Amino acid sequence: FMVVETWFGLVAIAFFGVLGTISLVTQIRRRSMITVSWRGIEESRMRGGRRVGTRTIAWEDVIAIAGVHVGGRWPSKGQYLVLLTLTPAACNRYRLGLPKWMRRLDAMNAGIIGPDAIALQRYDGGPHVMEDLLARVHRDVIGSRGFFG
């Protein structure tokens, strides 16, 4: 039995080691980024050493920015997510731009975070900093264009 357990362990380490290495290299080579500008929020990826835009969300399409803890049980609060609530038309455009498998995942998440909300991913600095930054930029950009008075 020792020989079988040893071989099983070695095969498992090799299998998951190869998968882990491939996943890590893929994540590094196709790293996603979020860029905040006066126009809105742009998601982009690195492909072939170049940055390629994948989606842009205009500030006019953002209704609200909020942070929420999801999936926690006491004493853990769960993961803190930064959510953008979009206009229904903008949310539909965003979801149609997702790959098919991501649309299924997004449909499941809609029951948790809301029908017209999307969760931001792939950013540095922490979720609280991102929420504060986006809320301030959204307020300043929309306010400077005369939408709030």
Shortest CA distance to 66 belongs to which of 142, 144, 134?
Answer: 134
* 77-111 pLDDT, tens digit each: 777 888 889 999 999 998 888 888 888 888 888 88
As a whole number of angstroms, the distance between CA 97 and CA 58 comes to 15
Query: Starting at the edge strand that comes first in sequence, how are the strands of the sheet with 32-36 ordered?
Result: 32-36, 40-47, 50-58
User: CB atoms < 10 A from the CB of 124, how many?
Assistant: 8
Phi, psi dihedral angles at 74 (to 5 degrees): -55, 135
Residue 146 predicted with pLDDT over 60:
no
pTM tops 0.85: no
pLDDT greater than 80 at residue 126:
no
| Burial profile 6-31: b = 16 or more Cβ within 10 angstroms, e = fewer | eeeeeeeeeeeeeeeeeeeeeeeeee
Tens digits of residue pLDDT in 31-40:
677 888 888 8
